[in-house]
Amino acid sequence: MAVGIFDSGLGGLTVLDAVSKRLPDVPFVYFGDNAHTPYGVRDAEDIFNLTTASVERLWDAGCDLVILACNTASAAALRRMQESWLPPEKRVLGVFVPLIEALTERKWGDNSPPREVEVKHVALFATPATVSSRAFQRELAFRAIGVDVEAQPCGGVVDAIEDGDEILAEALVRSHVEALQRRMPDPEAAILGCTHYPLMEETFQAALGADVRVFSQAKLVASSLDDYLKRHPEMRGAGTQSMFLTTGDPQAVSNKATQFLRRKITFQAA
């Protein structure tokens, strides 16, 4: 009954932490492609090939359902995977869906025409690859009208977080927020479109101001997964053990992950 969680690095651990608390009886297998992180500077074909190889490894671990806890992979590879690659008995879900649902206040399966929503000016902070894909804007446009999205590619933030350099990460966040505000001075909402960014949520909020509603993914994904598994209990895979897999050096990744989540995490070689 294991569920797979994939990320190019450690950011998906924020999602793992939230879903584990929400679904304590479900084993989760986490796969970090740390040897190839970050994905945010790669082209779409490279991201697709790396993502599919990682998902296949999670299938081998008994996970019929895999969450792409990587916005870059969700933006650049998920639609192609679902349309032309995915076997009928497997499921791969991205992390955009819960954000879109929260922002538009409508379920993903609601295929009624786009309609007006309360929030009109939205700031999107994401990796360069996620921004260039325009996946968030595309999915939002299917469901809402009259929403202005200003996207800010946040180069360097993921690397700083992965390196444990909190001072640099905070400085970069403030710089990226200032850059966005020069183009959109008064956003009503902000999307943290990378699973690393919840660790910087307080910094984003402080830089944006208390009046801006910040949407962070981890808790939204946990709630969405809980609902999905209730509706599709057959998608709980055959795996029975929680584990952490990495393409990188297990000891080095374990040390970073332990610092990242502030609890002991032990990775093994994928």
Query: Catalytic residues, which ones?
Result: 70, 194
- Looking up tokens 């996207």, which residue turns up? 151
Is there a contact between 159 and 177 (Cβ–Cβ < 8 Å)?
A: no
Q: Phi first, then psi: give them for residue 227, nearest 5 degrees.
A: -65, -40
* C-alpha dist (Å) from residue 179 to 4, 13, 125, 147, 153: 36, 28, 11, 20, 10
SS3 letters across 26-85: CCEEEEECCCCCCCCCCCHHHHHHHHHHHHHHHHHCCCCEEEECCHHHHHHCHHHHHHHC
Q: Enumerate residues 6+ apart whose C-beta is below 8 A from 68.
A: 6, 7, 51, 55, 74, 77, 78, 92, 93, 94, 95
CA–CA dist 223, 5 (Å, integer): 15
Tokens of 47: 């991201």
